[in-house]
Amino acid sequence: MPPCIARVACLALVLVAGPVLAGDLANFNTAVEAAQSHNRVAIGYLRTGNVDLASLEIDRLRESWRTLQERFAGERPDAFDGVELYGMLWTGVSARLVAADLMLKIGRADAARQSLDGISGDLYALRKAAGVTVLADCIRDANTVMGGLMIYNDRDLDWTKSETRFGIASKASIYNYVLDRCDGMADTSLRKSPEFRRLIDGAKAGLALIPKAIATRDSDLLHRVLIELRSFDNLLAFRFG
Protein backbone atom coordinates (compact mmCIF):
# COMPACT_ATOMS: atom_id res chain seq x y z
CA MET A 1 0.00 0.00 0.00
CA PRO A 2 1.45 3.43 -0.94
CA PRO A 3 2.55 5.48 2.10
CA CYS A 4 0.03 8.25 1.44
CA ILE A 5 -2.85 5.77 1.33
CA ALA A 6 -1.59 4.08 4.48
CA ARG A 7 -1.51 7.42 6.28
CA VAL A 8 -5.06 8.19 5.18
CA ALA A 9 -6.19 4.74 6.31
CA CYS A 10 -4.57 5.22 9.72
CA LEU A 11 -6.15 8.64 10.07
CA ALA A 12 -9.56 7.25 9.20
CA LEU A 13 -9.10 4.51 11.80
CA VAL A 14 -8.24 7.08 14.45
CA LEU A 15 -11.23 9.23 13.53
CA VAL A 16 -13.55 6.25 13.73
CA ALA A 17 -12.06 4.61 16.81
CA GLY A 18 -11.47 7.79 18.78
CA PRO A 19 -15.09 8.66 19.54
CA VAL A 20 -15.84 5.03 20.43
CA LEU A 21 -13.09 4.97 23.03
CA ALA A 22 -13.97 8.42 24.30
CA GLY A 23 -17.60 7.39 24.57
CA ASP A 24 -16.94 4.27 26.65
CA LEU A 25 -17.43 6.11 29.94
CA ALA A 26 -20.55 7.88 28.68
CA ASN A 27 -21.98 4.56 27.49
CA PHE A 28 -21.12 2.95 30.82
CA ASN A 29 -22.78 5.77 32.75
CA THR A 30 -25.87 5.54 30.55
CA ALA A 31 -26.14 1.79 31.08
CA VAL A 32 -25.66 2.20 34.83
CA GLU A 33 -28.38 4.84 34.94
CA ALA A 34 -30.75 2.50 33.08
CA ALA A 35 -30.21 -0.12 35.79
CA GLN A 36 -30.32 2.37 38.64
CA SER A 37 -33.66 3.75 37.48
CA HIS A 38 -35.16 0.35 38.37
CA ASN A 39 -33.19 0.23 41.61
CA ARG A 40 -34.55 3.58 42.79
CA VAL A 41 -38.12 2.58 42.01
CA ALA A 42 -37.69 -0.76 43.82
CA ILE A 43 -36.33 1.01 46.90
CA GLY A 44 -39.26 3.42 46.77
CA TYR A 45 -41.77 0.57 46.67
CA LEU A 46 -40.03 -1.16 49.57
CA ARG A 47 -40.24 2.03 51.62
CA THR A 48 -44.00 2.09 51.11
CA GLY A 49 -44.40 -1.65 51.72
CA ASN A 50 -45.38 -2.58 48.17
CA VAL A 51 -43.38 -5.78 47.97
CA ASP A 52 -44.97 -7.16 44.80
CA LEU A 53 -44.14 -4.12 42.70
CA ALA A 54 -40.68 -3.95 44.28
CA SER A 55 -40.09 -7.55 43.22
CA LEU A 56 -41.00 -6.69 39.62
CA GLU A 57 -38.56 -3.77 39.61
CA ILE A 58 -35.81 -5.95 41.06
CA ASP A 59 -36.37 -8.38 38.17
CA ARG A 60 -35.98 -5.47 35.74
CA LEU A 61 -32.92 -4.28 37.62
CA ARG A 62 -31.39 -7.75 37.36
CA GLU A 63 -31.99 -7.86 33.60
CA SER A 64 -30.50 -4.38 33.11
CA TRP A 65 -27.54 -5.32 35.23
CA ARG A 66 -26.98 -8.49 33.19
CA THR A 67 -26.88 -6.40 30.01
CA LEU A 68 -24.47 -3.98 31.63
CA GLN A 69 -22.22 -6.77 32.85
CA GLU A 70 -22.09 -8.49 29.47
CA ARG A 71 -21.02 -5.24 27.86
CA PHE A 72 -18.55 -3.88 30.38
CA ALA A 73 -17.29 -6.57 32.79
CA GLY A 74 -14.47 -7.54 30.44
CA GLU A 75 -14.02 -4.17 28.76
CA ARG A 76 -13.64 -1.42 31.30
CA PRO A 77 -13.72 2.24 30.24
CA ASP A 78 -10.33 3.96 30.38
CA ALA A 79 -11.47 6.06 33.34
CA PHE A 80 -11.45 2.93 35.52
CA ASP A 81 -8.01 1.64 34.54
CA GLY A 82 -6.16 0.58 37.67
CA VAL A 83 -9.25 0.98 39.88
CA GLU A 84 -9.53 -2.24 41.87
CA LEU A 85 -13.18 -1.64 42.74
CA TYR A 86 -14.15 -2.06 39.08
CA GLY A 87 -13.35 -5.77 39.10
CA MET A 88 -15.06 -6.22 42.46
CA LEU A 89 -18.22 -4.46 41.32
CA TRP A 90 -19.69 -7.31 39.30
CA THR A 91 -19.57 -10.03 41.96
CA GLY A 92 -20.53 -7.53 44.65
CA VAL A 93 -23.68 -6.34 42.91
CA SER A 94 -24.68 -9.88 41.95
CA ALA A 95 -24.39 -10.88 45.61
CA ARG A 96 -26.52 -7.91 46.67
CA LEU A 97 -29.23 -8.86 44.17
CA VAL A 98 -29.29 -12.42 45.49
CA ALA A 99 -29.49 -11.08 49.05
CA ALA A 100 -32.35 -8.75 48.13
CA ASP A 101 -34.34 -11.66 46.67
CA LEU A 102 -33.68 -13.80 49.73
CA MET A 103 -34.69 -11.05 52.13
CA LEU A 104 -37.95 -10.48 50.25
CA LYS A 105 -38.78 -14.18 50.39
CA ILE A 106 -38.43 -14.27 54.17
CA GLY A 107 -40.36 -11.05 54.64
CA ARG A 108 -37.41 -8.76 55.41
CA ALA A 109 -38.23 -5.82 53.17
CA ASP A 110 -35.99 -3.53 55.24
CA ALA A 111 -32.97 -5.77 54.67
CA ALA A 112 -33.80 -6.08 50.96
CA ARG A 113 -33.86 -2.31 50.72
CA GLN A 114 -30.45 -2.12 52.40
CA SER A 115 -29.05 -4.55 49.83
CA LEU A 116 -30.38 -2.44 46.97
CA ASP A 117 -29.07 0.77 48.51
CA GLY A 118 -25.72 -0.99 48.80
CA ILE A 119 -25.62 -1.23 44.99
CA SER A 120 -25.86 2.55 44.78
CA GLY A 121 -23.11 2.77 47.39
CA ASP A 122 -20.87 0.44 45.40
CA LEU A 123 -21.28 2.52 42.26
CA TYR A 124 -20.68 5.73 44.21
CA ALA A 125 -17.46 4.32 45.69
CA LEU A 126 -16.25 3.11 42.29
CA ARG A 127 -16.76 6.47 40.62
CA LYS A 128 -15.22 8.32 43.55
CA ALA A 129 -12.11 6.12 43.38
CA ALA A 130 -11.81 6.91 39.67
CA GLY A 131 -12.48 10.64 40.02
CA VAL A 132 -15.70 10.29 38.02
CA THR A 133 -18.78 12.21 39.14
CA VAL A 134 -22.34 11.98 37.85
CA LEU A 135 -25.53 13.67 38.99
CA ALA A 136 -26.54 10.65 41.10
CA ASP A 137 -23.37 11.05 43.15
CA CYS A 138 -24.08 14.73 43.75
CA ILE A 139 -27.62 13.89 44.86
CA ARG A 140 -26.21 11.28 47.23
CA ASP A 141 -23.83 13.89 48.67
CA ALA A 142 -26.78 16.25 49.14
CA ASN A 143 -28.70 13.50 50.92
CA THR A 144 -25.79 13.01 53.33
CA VAL A 145 -25.50 16.74 54.06
CA MET A 146 -29.26 16.96 54.61
CA GLY A 147 -28.96 14.15 57.14
CA GLY A 148 -26.50 16.29 59.09
CA LEU A 149 -28.86 19.26 58.99
CA MET A 150 -31.74 17.15 60.32
CA ILE A 151 -30.04 16.74 63.69
CA TYR A 152 -31.33 20.25 64.42
CA ASN A 153 -34.93 19.16 63.98
CA ASP A 154 -35.54 19.62 67.69
CA ARG A 155 -38.07 22.04 69.16
CA ASP A 156 -36.01 22.15 72.37
CA LEU A 157 -32.90 23.60 70.72
CA ASP A 158 -30.77 25.77 72.97
CA TRP A 159 -30.59 28.91 70.86
CA THR A 160 -28.35 30.61 73.40
CA LYS A 161 -25.45 28.44 72.26
CA SER A 162 -23.48 30.00 69.44
CA GLU A 163 -22.44 26.56 68.19
CA THR A 164 -26.12 25.71 67.64
CA ARG A 165 -26.75 28.80 65.55
CA PHE A 166 -23.46 28.41 63.68
CA GLY A 167 -24.04 24.69 63.10
CA ILE A 168 -27.46 25.27 61.53
CA ALA A 169 -26.20 28.13 59.36
CA SER A 170 -23.09 26.31 58.18
CA LYS A 171 -24.87 23.04 57.32
CA ALA A 172 -27.62 24.94 55.51
CA SER A 173 -24.97 26.82 53.54
CA ILE A 174 -23.21 23.58 52.60
CA TYR A 175 -26.51 22.03 51.52
CA ASN A 176 -27.28 25.06 49.38
CA TYR A 177 -23.83 24.79 47.78
CA VAL A 178 -24.31 21.09 46.98
CA LEU A 179 -27.74 21.76 45.49
CA ASP A 180 -26.20 24.41 43.24
CA ARG A 181 -23.56 21.89 42.17
CA CYS A 182 -26.21 19.27 41.38
CA ASP A 183 -28.24 21.82 39.45
CA GLY A 184 -25.17 22.66 37.39
CA MET A 185 -24.42 18.99 36.70
CA ALA A 186 -27.86 18.22 35.28
CA ASP A 187 -28.09 18.28 31.51
CA THR A 188 -30.06 21.10 29.91
CA SER A 189 -33.29 19.17 29.36
CA LEU A 190 -33.36 17.83 32.92
CA ARG A 191 -32.43 21.20 34.41
CA LYS A 192 -35.42 22.75 32.68
CA SER A 193 -37.85 19.94 33.49
CA PRO A 194 -40.72 20.96 35.81
CA GLU A 195 -40.11 18.10 38.25
CA PHE A 196 -36.41 18.78 38.71
CA ARG A 197 -36.99 22.53 38.99
CA ARG A 198 -39.74 22.02 41.58
CA LEU A 199 -37.46 19.96 43.79
CA ILE A 200 -34.33 22.09 43.47
CA ASP A 201 -36.09 25.44 43.66
CA GLY A 202 -38.40 24.26 46.43
CA ALA A 203 -35.44 23.16 48.54
CA LYS A 204 -33.62 26.42 47.93
CA ALA A 205 -36.73 28.41 48.88
CA GLY A 206 -36.85 26.51 52.16
CA LEU A 207 -33.17 27.16 52.80
CA ALA A 208 -33.82 30.89 52.35
CA LEU A 209 -36.04 30.80 55.46
CA ILE A 210 -33.37 29.35 57.75
CA PRO A 211 -31.61 32.70 58.46
CA LYS A 212 -34.96 34.05 59.68
CA ALA A 213 -35.45 31.03 61.94
CA ILE A 214 -31.98 31.57 63.40
CA ALA A 215 -32.42 35.33 63.83
CA THR A 216 -35.78 34.93 65.57
CA ARG A 217 -34.74 31.71 67.34
CA ASP A 218 -37.95 30.15 66.07
CA SER A 219 -37.79 26.39 66.62
CA ASP A 220 -41.23 25.82 65.10
CA LEU A 221 -40.28 27.59 61.89
CA LEU A 222 -37.01 25.65 61.71
CA HIS A 223 -38.91 22.40 62.27
CA ARG A 224 -41.34 23.13 59.42
CA VAL A 225 -38.52 24.12 57.08
CA LEU A 226 -36.46 21.03 57.87
CA ILE A 227 -39.41 18.68 57.36
CA GLU A 228 -40.11 20.28 53.99
CA LEU A 229 -36.42 20.16 53.03
CA ARG A 230 -36.22 16.49 53.95
CA SER A 231 -39.23 15.81 51.73
CA PHE A 232 -37.62 17.55 48.75
CA ASP A 233 -34.35 15.79 49.49
CA ASN A 234 -35.95 12.34 49.63
CA LEU A 235 -37.73 12.97 46.33
CA LEU A 236 -34.47 14.06 44.71
CA ALA A 237 -32.82 10.87 45.91
CA PHE A 238 -35.79 8.76 44.77
CA ARG A 239 -35.85 10.25 41.27
CA PHE A 240 -32.24 11.10 40.52
CA GLY A 241 -29.96 9.63 43.21
* 149 and 51 fall within a common domain: no
CATH number of the CATH domain containing 89 = 1.20.120
* 101 and 209 fall within a common domain: no
Give the number of other Cβ atoms within 10 Å of residue 105's Cβ.
Answer: 10
Q: Which residues have a Cβ under 8 Å from the Cβ of 93 and sit 6 or more positions away?
A: 65, 119, 122
The tally of domains found in the chain comes to 2
Amino acid at 221: L
Q: Is the pLDDT of residue 41 over 60?
A: yes
Task: Tell me which residue range forms the domain holding 189.
Answer: 136-240
Q: What was the pLDDT predicted at 24? A: 87
* 181 and 198 fall within a common domain: yes
Q: What is the pLDDT of residues 185-232, one digit of tens each?
A: 999 999 999 999 999 999 999 999 999 999 999 999 999 999 999 999
* 143 and 232 fall within a common domain: yes
Q: Is the pLDDT of residue 114 over 50?
A: yes
* 32 and 110 fall within a common domain: yes
85, 109, 131: which is the final residue of a domain?
131
Q: What is the dihedral of CA 145, 151, 153, 156, to 10 degrees?
A: -150
Q: What is the pLDDT of residues 127-137, one digit of tens each?
A: 999 999 899 99
